[in-house]
Amino acid sequence: MKSEKLIDRKIWIVDFGSQYTQLITRKSRELGYSSEIITLKECRELFANDQLPDALVLSGGPQSVFEDENDYSFIFNHQDLPILGICYGMQILGKFFEGNVERGTIGEYGHATIEFTKGHEFESCPDNINVWMSHSDHISIVPKDFEVAIKSGNGLIAGIEHKKRKILGLQFHPEVEHSDHGKDILNHFYKNIAKLNADWNASEMLEEATEMVRAIGDKKVLCAFSGGVDSLVAAMLSHRVLGDNLYCFFVDHGLLRPQDLGHIKLLQEKLPLNIEIIDVKDLFLSKLKGLSDPEEKRKMIGNTFIEVFEKKVHEFEESHGINFDYLLQGTLYPDVIESISPHEEDGKSVTIKSHHNVGGLPERMKLKLLEPLRHLFKDEVRKLGEELSLEHNWVYRHPFPGPGLGIRILGEIFPESITKVQESDQILFEELHRSGLYESTWQALTVLLPIKTVGVKGDSRAYEEVICLRMVNSSDGMTATWSDMPRDFLSKVSSRITNEVKGVTRVVYDITSKPPGTIEWE
Ligand SMILES: Nc1ncnc2c1ncn2[C@@H]1O[C@H](COP(=O)(O)OP(=O)(O)OP(=O)(O)O)[C@@H](O)[C@H]1O
Ligand SMILES: O=c1[nH]c(=O)c2[nH+]cn([C@@H]3O[C@H](COP(=O)(O)O)[C@@H](O)[C@H]3O)c2[nH]1
Ligand SMILES: NC(=O)CC[C@H](N)C(=O)O
Ligand SMILES: [Mg+2]
């Protein structure tokens, strides 16, 4: 379900299934334009209700226009609507406006040079630039009323512009990092062709998120509060509206690090929030006993979270006469995007991992979800945290997943394995802080590998387990590269872990990016 707020967005991006669609939103927002991804179906419904954006972007996509039977006249009949077609989106323009699209045989993948034609120079772009291509079909004859605006190094048409209307087609992907001046190219479209004004900034984001909370009225809200950036920002902005109607609960499932409980206690002391710690360590451990499959573990953790909150709801009804209407969570846009799919009506995409907080609530709970950050990316949430004047180190705290160490102990979870990860994690963070490297990586963690290797400790043979260090750089967790940490630091952490953590003889460093790896190991 889309929020009604969607119709206030300046730019809508119709998703045809490109792996880069999400980046178009990001880059547009970085340029200061509010934008949101929608499906073609949603676009058709909104247009049918006379709801139009200030500009529409048609994304790339894996299919070929030769197999596309959609009628796009509902879009193109709007003479004044600024439209940008990227890759597949440009081929849709080519077909609709009766140019010629040729089915590709070899394709053009990777870097290519492009050149702007005379009269079509783009602001802040030099004449020749390097861009990222990923297509096989191409436009061979420019449609009527269009001109070639950009040519590629190998003579193909790389961009077309309508002579009178505000329509631009690009065969390459300006949204990816590999395209030089990609953001300038998008900006040229928004600013000089579509004539939009930038409107997206921290106070606008805060106002919009607050409005979602205001809209629920005088209701009791149960907040799933982890102390992580997302739920902290969600709770603090909600508290300004809800005051005493907001009740925060922190679930101690026993899969936490020492730093997490410390952080919660500090927040309890320093914030105006009403935060209760629910100790359910034994419940979680008993539920997880015997489980070793990652998805089974994740689902069990997710369900147990719900069970714990359900009990709280009853307890408050019975003992305090308080009825909760809403569950407040720090769900972010990437979680929401993952559940949008252009291909299936019900919007289900392939499940890589079941996140503990997006499984939905059972019918019987009657709680509605309140997710004021559901339109934002992590770095935007951090900006909101700053706008709310929250302490810098709270806002820039590394993310920590809801299932906690449960997904950092591969296979079955035993109490001794929890201790090993807790202790190694503690050492890693002490050293990150000591060396001033905490903010040079986006997320740091240790994983326990349940395999034994031979080592030598104090002249005797050791046959013990392995700790893997993982540190990554990212902006929103959707993609990541491994952090190239200084050798001295890695060596210090490794020797402290093998010396101080019982049962660990070997430390390895994970040098896998995402994709193909994910950040967590399960
Ligand atoms: N231990 C917990 N107790 C209560 N709620 C939790 C707990 N862990 C996670 N949640 C809920 O699940 C949501 C998603 O978790 P997630 O880790 O993605 O966000 P976060 O903890 O708020 O921020 P961060 O990503 O920085 O760790 C949280 O916003 C919070 O609502
Ligand atoms: O709240 C959460 N519940 C989860 O179930 C979950 N799984 C992964 N993560 C965090 O999400 C980011 C991306 O992780 P992955 O690359 O492993 O999918 C990383 O920051 C992970 O720590 C989770 N957060
Ligand atoms: N990336 C794309 O949008 C590709 C469009 C189309 N599938 C092609 O191969 O040409
Ligand atoms: Mg967290």
Peptide bond into 415 cis (omega under 30): no
Q: Are residues 176 and 248 in the same domain?
A: no
What's the rounded Cα separation, in Å, for the pair 84 and 26? Answer: 16
Q: Are residues 148 and 216 in the same domain?
A: no
Q: Sort strands 368-370 and 246-252 into parallel, antiparallel or unpaired.
A: unpaired
Whether residue 229 is annotated as binding a ligand: the answer is yes
Nearest CA residue ID for atom 13, ligand 2:
477
Q: What is the pLDDT of residues 314-324, one digit of tens each?
A: 999 999 999 99
Contact 71, 121 (CB under 8 A): no
Other beta carbons within 10 angstroms of residue 471's beta carbon come to: 26
Q: Are residues 69 and 159 in the same domain?
A: yes
Nearest atom in ligand 3 to 62's CA: 7
Whether residue 231 is annotated as binding a ligand: the answer is yes
Q: Are residues 99 and 159 in the same domain?
A: yes
pTM of the model: 0.84
Backbone angles phi, psi at 56, to 5 degrees: -120, 135
Q: Are residues 357 and 242 in the same domain?
A: yes
Q: Which residue intervals of 243-293 are DSSP H helices?
A: 258-270, 281-288
Amino acid in position 474:
S
Amino acid in position 475:
S
Number of separate domains in the chain: 3
Contact 309, 301 (CB under 8 A): no
List the pLDDT tens digit at each of the 522 positions of the chain.
344 445 567 999 999 998 889 889 989 999 999 998 999 999 999 999 999 999 999 999 999 999 999 999 999 999 999 999 999 999 999 999 999 999 988 788 888 999 999 999 999 999 999 999 999 999 999 999 999 999 999 889 999 999 999 999 999 999 988 899 999 999 999 999 999 999 888 998 999 899 999 999 999 999 999 999 999 999 999 999 999 999 999 999 999 999 999 999 999 999 999 999 999 999 999 999 999 999 999 999 999 999 999 999 999 999 999 999 999 999 998 777 665 555 444 433 456 667 766 556 777 878 999 999 988 989 999 999 999 999 999 999 999 999 999 999 999 999 999 999 999 999 999 999 999 999 999 999 999 999 999 999 888 999 999 999 999 998 888 778 999 999 999 999 999 999 999 999 999 999 999 878 999 999
Q: Are residues 225 and 351 in the same domain?
A: yes
Whether residue 94 is annotated as binding a ligand: the answer is no
Three-state DSSP class for residue 482: strand
Domain span at 165: 4-193
Contact 263, 227 (CB under 8 A): yes
Tokens of 315: 């307890």
Assess if residue 400 is contained within a domain.
no
Q: Are residues 134 and 171 in the same domain?
A: yes
Q: Which of 308, 357, 374 to mutate to test the pocket of ligand 1 (most atoms within 8 A of CB)?
A: 357
Amino acid in position 89:
G
Q: Are residues 136 and 219 in the same domain?
A: no
| Catalytic machinery residues | 87, 173, 175
Q: Are residues 232 and 175 in the same domain?
A: no
CA of 154 to the centre of ligand 1 (A): 50
Q: What is the pLDDT of residues 289-342, one digit of tens each?
A: 999 999 999 999 999 999 999 999 999 999 999 999 999 999 998 777 665 555
Q: Are residues 252 and 271 in the same domain?
A: yes
Question: Tell me, what's the ipTM?
Answer: 0.92
Q: Which residues contact 118 (CB under 8 A, 6 or more apart)?
A: none
Other beta carbons within 10 angstroms of residue 392's beta carbon come to: 11
∠416-419-423 over CA atoms, to 5°? 145
Rounded (10°) CA dihedral 303, 309, 313, 316: 150
Q: Which of 222, 225, 226, 229 to mutate to test the pocket of ligand 1 (most atoms within 8 A of CB)?
A: 226
* Greatest CA separation for the chain: 82
Conformation bin of residue 107: beta by default, left when phi > 0, alpha when psi is -120 to 50: left
Contact 242, 272 (CB under 8 A): no
Quote the pLDDT of residue 362: 75
Q: Which residue intervals of 162-257 are DSSP H helices?
A: 182-187, 202-214, 229-242
Nearest CA residue ID for atom 5, ligand 3:
88
Assess if residue 404 is contained within a domain.
no
As residues whose CB is below 5 A from the ion ligand 4, the structure lists 226, 228, 400
Assess if residue 430 is contained within a domain.
yes
User: Residue written as tokens 């909150």?
Assistant: 309
Does residue 299 have its Cβ closer than 6 Å to ligand 2? Answer: no
Assess if residue 225 is contained within a domain.
yes
Assess if residue 521 is contained within a domain.
no
Q: Are residues 267 and 141 in the same domain?
A: no
Quote the pLDDT of residue 349: 46
Assess if residue 406 is contained within a domain.
no
CA-based R_g, the chain, Å = 26
CA of 491 to the centre of ligand 1 (A): 32
Tokens of 80: 């004044």
Report which of 390, 478, 392 is spatially closest to residue 438, judged by C-alpha positions.
Answer: 392
Amino acid in position 140:
S
What's the rounded Cα separation, in Å, for the pair 208 and 205? Answer: 5
Three-state DSSP class for residue 329: coil
Last residue of a domain, one of 336, 365, 395: 395
Whether residue 169 is annotated as binding a ligand: the answer is no
CATH number of the domain residue 464 falls in: 3.30.300.10
